[in-house]
Chain A
């Protein structure tokens, strides 16, 4: 592979933005995975597809409407779960399909599928502008700051809600906070891998890292590293072979997971 590709502006932006999104989604994803909310990202991504369609239809920048719809859905799913005592996986299924359904209806009103729609479904990391990169970097910085600020409370309520509550952590508020952050992260990640592959970004690096990590922070850093590695290699390899970056990124992270499982089965990692 020639290194000339790294001198292209679009490639530099893609790699930088991709790495930022990789870090963000693996951090948020670790909390979701440990809370058994692995498919939550997927549900939010599908529902934000409805938001994207709405934005395209109304002539608004689609990601802004997607942010709105994603956060709203995150809050609704949480409310439904507690209020009507519907299980987590069922409420995720409801949200997932209603988002896509709403999106499809709106799209047919506005004259069917266009190139734009496909780029949201499968990601468009090679097309990010300088402006996109700045917005994504700022948003990621803000989300990570909030996580850092409430790190203990988020971690404690992920570990055990009841004990966190007894020691004075406002568990309900913290849960809402995390869910809103997840909503923001999902829409931000759509540009990298698209609506359809979001969960891969949230879940796979974390499932892998949990097998290696000892402490929580260590696990978080391992997950970030795997995620950044998969994203950067995925983008580069996909460019060289002229294939889709989103798919390649996910294949890379699945490969790391598979190798890890192999190592673990061979007894080279401690059992956990």
Chain B
């Protein structure tokens, strides 16, 4: 299988802190990778670096063998779903408008309807985005990420403010995208159970990569899970 993503010796240093320390891992095409780790573990830094928003790293990031610092076209293989769909609440745009913004080829206009149907939000296409619920918005942003047929979908904990029914729907959508359409998925999450259910690989990040491998291995190793939970608990208590 082709390497969809190849990260080698990725290090990001901020003046006060080392956000990522020599992180290396490979994501094969068709993998479903769950990235877990406490707040401040460097997940956002990792994502920003992969997405081209942070270029102050050492090491290399490659998508399908293309170094993102040298390639001008690598973003064509990526679809990105942000943590929160941020926009002005009164922004005058319909659901179709938002998906259309991401569409690179004007001639692919029919793709918009296609992707909205695939996510069961076609009937919302003429609604203004400010009127939608959290779950609906999330699906609009997934549709936006999928409209250019990306090979890799990157999702940054996108379940904030979404109710349980919609979370379940979201999970089944991800599963289908991965298994039916062969899209490689990289998904950062706090929810260990969900990662256990969906992902076939796990990367456990806490500034360094302290586990990367098949999710079965991770979840069958009580010691690893315990370590991870303690790390997040400490962090959790630290925050309260």
Contacts and interface: CB of A to CB of B under 8 A. Distances in A.
Partners in one complex: yes
Interface of A: 34, 152, 155-156, 159-160, 162-168, 209-210, 213-219, 270, 272
Contact of B131 (A165, A218, A219, A272): A272
Contacts of A165: 52-53
Contact of B82 (A156, A162, A168, A213): A162
Most buried by B among A167, A168, A214, A215: A167
B128 A272 contact: yes
B108 to A, nearest CB: 12
Interface of B: 51-53, 73, 75-76, 78, 80, 82, 86-94, 96-98, 100-104, 106, 126, 128, 130-131, 148
A260 B6 CA distance: 55
11 contacts: A34-B92, A155-B101, A159-B91, A162-B53, A163-B80, A165-B53, A166-B53, A168-B76, A215-B97, A216-B94, A272-B89
A219 B92 contact: yes
B126 A214 contact: yes
A209 to B, nearest CB: 8
Contacts of A162: 53, 82, 86
Contact of A214 (B89, B103, B128, B148): B128
Contact of A159 (B53, B73, B90, B93): B93
A228 to B, nearest CB: 19
Contacts of A272: 89-90, 92, 128, 130-131
Given A167-B80, A215-B93, 9 more contacts: A159-B91, A159-B98, A160-B86, A167-B102, A168-B73, A168-B76, A216-B93, A219-B92, A272-B90
B102 A156 contact: yes
Contacts of A218: 92
B38 to A, nearest CB: 24
B92 A168 contact: no
Contact of B92 (A156, A160, A214): A214
Contacts of B126: 214-215
